[in-house]
Structures are given as structure tokens and as C-alpha cells.
Structure 1
Amino acid sequence: MSAPIVIAGAGIGGLSAALAVARAGRRVLLVERAARIEEVGAGLQIAPNAGRILAGLGLEAALAPVALQPQAINVRRGRDGTVLARLDLAGARARYGAPFRVYHRADLQQVLLDAASAHPAIEIRTGARVGDFDDRDGMVRLRVHGEAGVEEITASGLVGADGQRSAVRGHLLPTERDAPFYSGLTAWRALVPAEAASAALRARENNLWLLPGAHVVHYPLRDGAVINVVVIVSTPRQGDGAAILSLDGATLARTMERYRPAPELVALIEAGAAWRHWPLFARPPLKFWSRGAVTLLGDAAHPMVPFLAQGAAQAIEDAEALGRAFLQLGVRIETAFSTYERSRLARAARVVRASRRQGDYFHLGGLGAAGRDLAIRALGGRGMLWRNDWLYR
């Protein structure tokens, strides 16, 4: 029996990659450092470019019951709540081949985990992490650390899907210049019970509020029972508030006073019982993701700020491209990995750059914000949506 492809990390990208590679006829060993594969509460937007791929993996029937399909995206001026543009999402499936959907991250991950667990070509090992490795003679010899000690495994290939602070990337590129660095932006996340929000904010719609130096995104989850809210602020120094791991809603609302948010937005923030601190980090862009029989995927390869809601979607795109690279009969691992890298490198880099520009655009103040708001009104919802055709198609 051939040696498996080892995938380090069982997040959205790692699980999607395991399914895609197994569907291409390869054995997979999925290694996850957590004792249990589970996600803490947070919302996740899955745009049509990733939704098509998940459907192609045979997951549509399992995903539909746990997804919520927003009817629109409202872009609002944050200081008074004025809707600058309303992006109607009703025609998304017809235009892009899949709808816009939002998920509780744990629900999406569970669907992927159930599918991977049921696949005969996928083995999942939890409570274990990939340590150092040696790539030579077309094989990867790696050390997996678990509760029972260190096990040496021979793999036909290694995929680092182990997140922004990827250990696989650290061994592949052992240089301080490649270390994660603070982006200058910090997020606060909370799930708010729907009954605690105003009726206008409980609609099955995504909302984006623009403030000078900050923005807020919220949307309903789990059939509208809760509202996922994310507050993102420009905080030049990582140490500013970094020691505070969580805040109650009243305290966070007070810290937001300098941005002068609209009263209904303040009320939504106050309704959050516990806001989790989430500093946003970045890493230098890579000119390559692969070396021999080792490659990277998702945040390990191309971490991005979340302003296009494409972090998970790009990891899913990576997974699909990786699986496709193995469809050629008898393809060597090194060839498959280099083919995968070539197909994804430029697009992922473009999304990383566009995501950062989007954040700068969101956080404009003064005359810049006034000009931006006029441009949004001029484009209208349809123009705003179609401007991202390159991304969703």
C-alpha cells in the first residue's frame, strides 16, 4: 500500500483538502494537534466561489440545513446608519453558480469532518502534531508528536494546512523574516442573541457599517437565532489592549465612543455578553509554497485580513486545486504540488492584496470617507456586487 499524503491541520482548509485529495484517489492521513476537532463560536461567510467547490465535493445536502442564505448586503454609514447601497443577493446562484451563505464555523467544520470520517481513504489522528521533517528521495519522513510520544511516519507528501502560525511553514522557511507580524488591526467578536437586537438588525441580511478608523460586520446565524458581530478597529501597536482577552458589551461600547457610532449600532455592541479579542496578523508574501514533496495551503500559505470574507474561501479553492492536480494518472507528488502552486499563487496573492485595500477603503475618514460614500451611492448595489465578479466567478 502506498504511503499516505499527510495533511497537518484539520480546519476548514485541511478537511477540504483531505476530501479533494481522497476523491482524486490518494490515501490521506489528517493530523490535528487538538484532542477534539471543534471550532469555537464564530460566523463564517462562504461566497459562491467556495460554495461551488463544496457542492462539487458532494456536500450540498449536508450543508443546506446548517447554512443561512442572506437576502442582501447593506453597506451603511456607521455614524447614522444610512444605507449607502443594498446588494441584492437573490440572483447569486444564477449568476455565480452558487448562493452566498453564512455558517456558524463549527457547523461547517462538522459537516466536513463527518464527510472526511466516512471516507475510506482518509485517516484522522487527533491530539498529534507534525514536528520536523526530512524531504528526500521523493518521500517525506516526519515526526508526529502525540500523547504516546514521537512517531516517525513515512509519507508520500506533506501539506501544511496548519494555519497562520504554521509549523510546517516554519520548518520549510526557517527564517525570522518570515515570522508573523501584527497588521495594525484588531477585531472583537461576539454572538448576540437575536432577541437582544432591534427588529431592523434581525433581518436575514449582512450589514457592513463604515466608520473612520473602524468598521463593523454582522449577520444572522443558525436560522436567525443568533447574530454574529465583528468589530474591527485600527490599533497601530499590538500592545494596545492586547492584554485584555475579552470585554463585556458595555465596556466595548465605551471604547467605541471615539468613532461616534449610530445609537442602534451601540445597542447591538452592548448586547454582546462577551467579546473575544482577535489581533490580526500577517506574514510576508511567498514567491513559492512548495519544496519537493512539501507544500502549504490556506492561511499557512497566504494569510489575509478578513475584509473580503475570503480566508476560508481561498483555503477551499486551494483544496480543490490540490485535488485536481492529482487527477492525472501516475502524477508524481512533486509535480502535483508544483502544478497546484502554479494554479493558485497569483490568484491568492491578488486576493490578499485586495483584502488589505478593502480594509483601507472601509476605514477612510474626512474627505476620503465622503468621496467613498458618494462612489458607493453612484455604483449602487448591483455595481458593488458586480465589481467582485472576478472573485466570485
Structure 2
Amino acid sequence: MTRNIAVVGAGPAGLAVALMLARRGRRPVIFERFDAPRPVGAGFLLQPTGLDVLDGLGLTSTIAALGQPVGRLFGREARRGRVVLDVRYDALRRPRPALGVLRSALFQTLYDAVIAEGVEIRSSHDIASADDGRLSDARGRDLGRFDLVIDASGARSAIAKTLPCRGLIGARRDLAWGALWTTTPWPGADFDPGALEQVYRAADRMIGVLPSGRRPDDAAPTATFFWSLKPDDYARWRSDGLDAWKSEVRTLWPRTEPVLDAIIDPEALTLARYGHHTLTQPIGRRLAVVGDAAHSTSPQLGQGVNMALLDARALVEALDRAPDLDTALSAYAGARRLHLALYQALSLVFTPFYQNDGRVLPWVRDHLLGRVARLPTADRLLAATVSGLLLDPRLKLDRPAFARS
């Protein structure tokens, strides 16, 4: 039995996989580069796929108490108010809304469960390599040899960057567009608490307001606010000043006034940079790679954390079923291959319709895609796509119960 396992990274993927392993009688040790584990990133949507993983861990009620159900994704073109995106989760064969949550809420839920299982967390270790199970950090310290190393350290992983990439784009590529984001108090009755709302001007301006539940230590509801921006334009955005930017946002979407009033310092807005890559194989000698370290993309389809949770479950299920480690690693890679390939391809195709300097693709989006979306059964197809259910993510793996009996 593969028992002594190093998990690199204390994000959602690392915490989830460590929790699953501990509950299956294995001995995971988490290595974290920060002095203390902490959440990083904006609020996001836990899709039905991610919620299904939390169901198996017995954590859905805990995270649901911190989140906000989101049953609709709704977008309008700024100039004429034309509806260009309208996705409703109740169109699914088995309707289940997504959950808008803050990363701090998911982090705390998983972290508390990991600590309750007695999992060891070693902080201040910036892992540099994993050679046949032997782990070392950026200071050159030998951290020991493990039966298996699971790399969950994110898109900038030092371990994963030594592995080859495949797919439509070949090597790793930074995307031209990113986003500014911040968390504010919920703006009130002018916004639907059950919908992610967006406004677009062509594809070079995109504004989003996501209901994101509450912080673990605060009962007040929040919103996560997004503004599309090229990282190369960030310095100019800073030099133009906050007032000039607010004026532009108000012009495009007047209802954001209460959100903008809560933003009094440009430092409150964090620049998120995005990249696109898929490892040829998310495995190596005594190595498995999960989450953004194995595959990253634009957040347009809202799949990032959900894919990471699916990776964690597939890997642990493969370890449970397979007769040896090599077979388990191959089974894990095979189980995730088609689902990941589909969503990486969809993201690559659809992102330019929402983040682009041109005029042709946004015209197609505004004038043609909206009409296509109103065709019979299109609503179900769209809902299945954004929910992560367009292809069965369990692919050939049985479902063990990770929750305590």
C-alpha cells in the first residue's frame, strides 16, 4: 500500500487530496511554501461537479452555509442592453445550482477537516524538485523520500514545469488578458443574489459581479467584482487613476455604483494573470500532478477549482483500486484525460469571444451566439457545459465513499 505521501501545496487541491488520503488510512504530509497556509485568489463558482466531490467528503453543508446559491449566469452587451449570455442551472436534467464562494471559505472548510484528521502540515518549504519520490526545496534541503509525491502547487509549479505539455497550443503560454478583482460588501437589491451578472463592451471590456457568500468569520454577504484587463496595461491603469477608471465602469454599467463606492484604494484590486497549458501526462516516477499544476486555462468557463477537486478524487480512487502504484498513476491519468481535454479546448475556443481586441468575434457573440442559445435543447447544453457535466468526469472509476461512516 502506498502510505507515505508528500502533498505539495495547501490550496484546494492539496487539502482535498490530503483529506481523502488520510480518511483512507494513508499518511499524507503537506508541504506549503508560505509561513502559514492561506487562501489566494478571488471568489468563484463551485460547480455541481465540485460540489459532488464535497458531497463525498461530507463537507457540502459546511461550505453551503458560507456560500450563496447561484442558479443563473447572465450577461448583457453594454451599449444596447442586448442579452448575449443566459445560462440557467435548472435546465439540467438533474438541476443543481452552483455555489458562489470566497476562496477563504473553501480553504477554511478543507483546512479544518484536514487538521481534524491529524494531517501534518510543514510550512516555509518552497519545493523545487521531486526526483523518484525524493523531495527537496528551493534552499537545497533534502526533505526525505516518499512513496508518492502529489504536486498540487499551482500553475507556477517548479515540479510541473519540467514535464512536457501537449494539446492545441503545445507549450505553456501566458494569455494576453487577465483581470482585476476585489471583494466588496454585497451591493444590495439592484443585483440578483442568485446570479453571476456580466456586462460587455465588445470583447475589450468585461465587468462581472458574483455573489460570493460570506467570510468564515463574518456574517455579512459579499460580492466578487471583476474587470478584464491585460497585464501589460496594468501600469497604465494605475497611472490613469482610480477616478478615471470608476467613471468608465459607471458609464458601461451604472448599477455598479455601490460596488465602486466600496473601492477606495487601487491596492484593493488584485491583478490576476492567466495561462494555458496541459501536461502531456500528469504523472511521473512516484509523481502525480493535480489541479492548476497539471492544467490551467482562462477562467471563462469557471472550471479551475472544480477540475482540481475532480483530479483529487480521481487520483485517490485510482490508488484505492489499483494493485500497484504504476497502475494507479496510469489509471488516474486516463480517467481525467478526456474530460480535461474537452474543457481545455472549449476554453481555448470561447475565451476570445469575451476577451479580445477585435470586433468580429464579439459581433458574432452578440448577434449569432445569443440566437443559437435560444434554440431547443441549447439551454440544457449550455448548462451542462458551465456546470462541468458535458462529459462524465468519473470516467470508468467506481465511487468509494470518502466521508466517515
Structure 1 length-normalised TM: 0.83
State the AA in 2 paired with 1:49: T
State the AA in 1 paired with 2:110: L
> 2:276 & 2:86 partners in 1: Cα distance?
31
> 1:55 & 1:248 partners in 2: Cα distance?
45
Equivalent position of 1:27 in the other structure: 27
Deviates more, 1:205-214 or 1:159-168: 205-214
Instruction: Evaluate the alpha carbon distance shift between residue 382 and residue 348 of structure 1 in structure 2; reply closer, same or farther with a 3 A threshold.
Output: closer
Q: Secondary structure at the match of 1:319?
A: helix
> 1:189 & 1:113 partners in 2: Cα distance?
24
1:112-156 CA-partner distances (Å, limit 9, x unpaired)? 011111114x32111212233321xxxx1222468xx82431100
1:26-84 CA-partner distances (Å, limit 9, x unpaired)? 21111111111112462111110111111101212322211211243223223344445
> 2:331 & 2:289 partners in 1: Cα distance?
13
> 2:239 & 2:380 partners in 1: Cα distance?
38
Instruction: Evaluate the alpha carbon distance shift between residue 192 and residue 287 of structure 1 in structure 2; reply closer, same or farther with a 3 A threshold.
Output: same
Instruction: Evaluate the alpha carbon distance shift between residue 89 and residue 249 of structure 1 in structure 2; reply closer, same or farther with a 3 A threshold.
Output: farther
Q: Give 1:91 deviation, angstroms.
A: 7.0
Q: Give 1:267 deviation, angstroms.
A: 6.8
> 1:247 & 1:13 partners in 2: Cα distance?
38
> 1:247 & 1:70 partners in 2: Cα distance?
35
**Identical-residue share of aligned pairs (%):** 25
> 1:327 & 1:10 partners in 2: Cα distance?
22
Q: Which of 139, 142, 149 does residue 158 from structure 1 map onto?
A: 149
Q: Give 1:276 deviation, angstroms.
A: 1.6
Q: Which of 335, 340, 346 does residue 332 from structure 2 map onto?
A: 340
Equivalent position of 2:400 in the other structure: none
State the AA in 2 paired with 1:252: W
Alignment of 1:288 with 2:281, yes or no, is yes
> 1:246 & 1:10 partners in 2: Cα distance?
35
Equivalent position of 1:105 in the other structure: 103
Instruction: Evaluate the alpha carbon distance shift between residue 211 and residue 219 of structure 1 in structure 2; reply closer, same or farther with a 3 A threshold.
Output: same
Q: Which runs of 5+ in 1 are unaligned?
A: none
Q: Secondary structure at the match of 2:320?
A: coil
Q: Which of 244, 269, 274 does residue 275 from structure 1 map onto?
A: 269
Contact 2:47 2:98 in 1 (8 A): yes
1:143-201 CA-partner distances (Å, limit 9, x unpaired)? 2468xx82431100111111101011134459xx987532111201012322xx36322
C-alpha RMSD over aligned residues:
3.2
Contact 1:3 1:154 in 2 (8 A): no
Contact 2:9 2:153 in 1 (8 A): yes
> 1:243 & 1:207 partners in 2: Cα distance?
27
Q: Secondary structure at the match of 2:190?
A: helix
Q: Which of 114, 117, 125 does residue 128 from structure 1 map onto?
A: 125
Q: Which of 286, 307, 321 does residue 300 from structure 2 map onto?
A: 307
Q: Give 1:359 deviation, angstroms.
A: 1.5
Contact 1:186 1:232 in 2 (8 A): yes
> 1:32 & 1:198 partners in 2: Cα distance?
38
> 1:153 & 1:53 partners in 2: Cα distance?
31
Q: Which runs of 5+ in 2 are unaligned?
A: 215-219, 356-360, 394-405
If each structure's strand is expressed as a fraction of its own residues, which one has the higher value? 1
Q: Give 1:262 deviation, angstroms.
A: 3.5
Contact 2:198 2:209 in 1 (8 A): yes
What is the number of equivalent residue pairs in this alignment?
Answer: 373
Equivalent position of 1:220 in the other structure: 211
Alignment of 1:349 with 2:335, yes or no, is no
Instruction: Evaluate the alpha carbon distance shift between residue 87 and residue 186 of structure 1 in structure 2; reply closer, same or farther with a 3 A threshold.
Output: closer
> 1:219 & 1:247 partners in 2: Cα distance?
26
Q: Which of 363, 369, 373 does residue 372 from structure 1 map onto?
A: 369
Q: Secondary structure at the match of 2:68?
A: coil
Q: Which of 199, 202, 219 does residue 209 from structure 1 map onto?
A: 199
Equivalent position of 1:10 in the other structure: 10
Q: Give 1:23 deviation, angstroms.
A: 3.0
Q: Give 1:349 deviation, angstroms.
A: 2.0
Q: Secondary structure at the match of 2:37?
A: coil
Q: Give 1:377 deviation, angstroms.
A: 4.4
Contact 2:12 2:309 in 1 (8 A): yes
Contact 1:248 1:275 in 2 (8 A): no
Q: Secondary structure at the match of 1:39?
A: coil
